[in-house]
């Protein structure tokens, strides 16, 4: 096959790609004319944006191939290409730099507002502050390095009249770009370490003052147990797990007799709350984003988290201008097919409202559990009599 025939074949293939792209977009365009409402719904789907991205990539490839064919054809005819690709690429670098920086600004202004909310806990302010410091530093570095990266590509295009300067080593420059990042990263690590230590290492006397609540994760639900008047949740033993005693509470421990069960988490405002977190089956993650709380729920290894809520649910609804707003407990580990729906409602109320709500909750040591324990004791006594005979 001659070179000219090869070029004609490539041109025909490119023409086919263009026709295919136009055919792919025509149904969407037709939909926009005939059914604007349907088009509006399709416009928001991931499939639409995926198709748009693929078509854009195809368009860029087609344009590049067309220019390449033009250059090859000019060479065959003995003509010198007038296009200065170094300048064109430099201009494209400039366009992508501006577009990228604008995209960064847009992402911060739109998604930043969507993702950021007022912290509903005392320690959450420290976490937000640490996050903002990290974000500011990394954003400055991100912008400056990309301006330098793209700027050099624009300012120093390839040219036969210029020769690159061989610059392999500079001790001063290397000291600066080693020492400065080391200082900044050390500051961020130390800041995070002491912030986390201050949140998690609670003095024992403050632990005793906090309201004690136990939360157990299992696929795909959270089980809530409140301590009684002694502010202690009773001991557990997985060997005692039964149909009625799903948590395996050890009722030989007197502290378990006044424990209460609940379908939601209700906590008093401005009072410390200490959660004991467990898991029955697989690894879960105890996650309450509004309170800046996240800790793993590990089978066989209780974990703890203590914090103080500072806004009631009603106050947060007013602040967020959302009458339906609710605090939520979520699972932040992909624990199975029902992971997405593993959540519990969390309400923060006044101390008086909390006491009224707690008085209405049932004891875990209820009639079903008592009956099951009595039957188990009778079975043990019967087995002992048979053994003596």
Q: What is the residue extent of each domain of the chain?
A: 1-83, 210-375
Residue 10 burial by Cβ neighbours in a 10 Å radius (0-12, 13-18, 19+): middle
Q: Which CATH architecture has domain 210-375?
A: Sandwich (2.60)
Q: At what angle do helices 3-34 and 36-43 cross, to 10 degrees?
A: 120
What is the rounded distance in angstroms from the CA atom of residue 108 to the CA atom of residue 102? 10
Tens of pLDDT, residue by residue over 96-130, are 999 999 999 998 888 877 777 889 999 999 999 99
Tens of pLDDT, residue by residue over 52-86, are 888 888 888 888 777 777 777 777 776 666 667 77
Q: Which residues contact 32 (CB under 8 A, 6 or more apart)?
A: 39
pLDDT for residue 50 is more than 60: yes
Return the pLDDT at 386: 42
What is the rounded distance in angstroms from the CA atom of residue 147 to the CA atom of residue 129? 27
The pTM of the full predicted model, rounded to 2 decimals, is 0.71
């Amino acid at each position: 096959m001659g070179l000219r025939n090869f070029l004609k074949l490539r041109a025909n293939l490119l023409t086919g790609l263009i026709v295919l792209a136009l055919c792919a977009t025509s149904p969407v365009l037709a939909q926009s004319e005939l059914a604007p409402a349907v088009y509006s719904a399709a416009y928001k789907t991931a499939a639409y944006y995926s198709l748009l991205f693929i078509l854009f990539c195809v368009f860029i490839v087609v344009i590049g191939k067309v220019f390449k064919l033009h250059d090859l054809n000019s060479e065959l005819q003995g003509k010198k290409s007038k296009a200065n690709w170094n300048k064109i690429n430099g201009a494209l670098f400039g366009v992508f730099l501006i577009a990228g920086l604008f995209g960064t600004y847009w992402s911060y202004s739109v998604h930043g507002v969507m993702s950021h909310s007022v912290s509903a806990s005392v320690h959450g302010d420290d976490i937000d502050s640490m996050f903002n410091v990290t974000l500011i530093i990394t954003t400055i570095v991100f912008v400056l390095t990309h301006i330098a990266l793209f700027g050099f590509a624009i300012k120093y295009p390839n040219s036969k009249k210029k020769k690159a300067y061989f610059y392999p080593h500079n001790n001063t420059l290397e000291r600066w770009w080693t020492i400065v990042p080391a200082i900044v990263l050390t500051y961020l690590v130390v800041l995070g370490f002491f912030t986390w230590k201050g949140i998690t290492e609670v003095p024992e006397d403050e632990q005793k003052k906090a309201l004690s609540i136990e939360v157990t994760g299992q696929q795909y639900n959270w089980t809530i147990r409140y301590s009684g008047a002694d502010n202690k949740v009773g001991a557990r033993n997985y060997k005692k797990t039964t149909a009625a005693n799903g948590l395996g509470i050890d009722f030989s421990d007197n502290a378990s007799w006044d424990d209460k069960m609940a379908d939601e988490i209700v906590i008093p405002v401005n009072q410390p709350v200490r959660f004991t977190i467990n898991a029955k089956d697989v690894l879960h993650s105890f996650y309450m984003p509004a309170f800046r709380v996240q800790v793993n729920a590990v089978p066989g290894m209780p974990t703890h988290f203590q914090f103080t809520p500072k806004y009631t649910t009603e106050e947060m609804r007013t602040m967020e201008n959302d009458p339906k707003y609710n605090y939520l407990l979520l699972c932040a580990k992909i624990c199975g097919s029902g992971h997405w729906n593993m959540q519990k409602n969390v309400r923060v109320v006044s101390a008086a409202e909390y006491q009224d709500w707690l008085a209405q909750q049932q004891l875990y040591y209820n009639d079903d559990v008592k009956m099951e324990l009595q039957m188990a004791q009778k079975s043990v006594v019967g087995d002992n009599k048979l053994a003596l005979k």
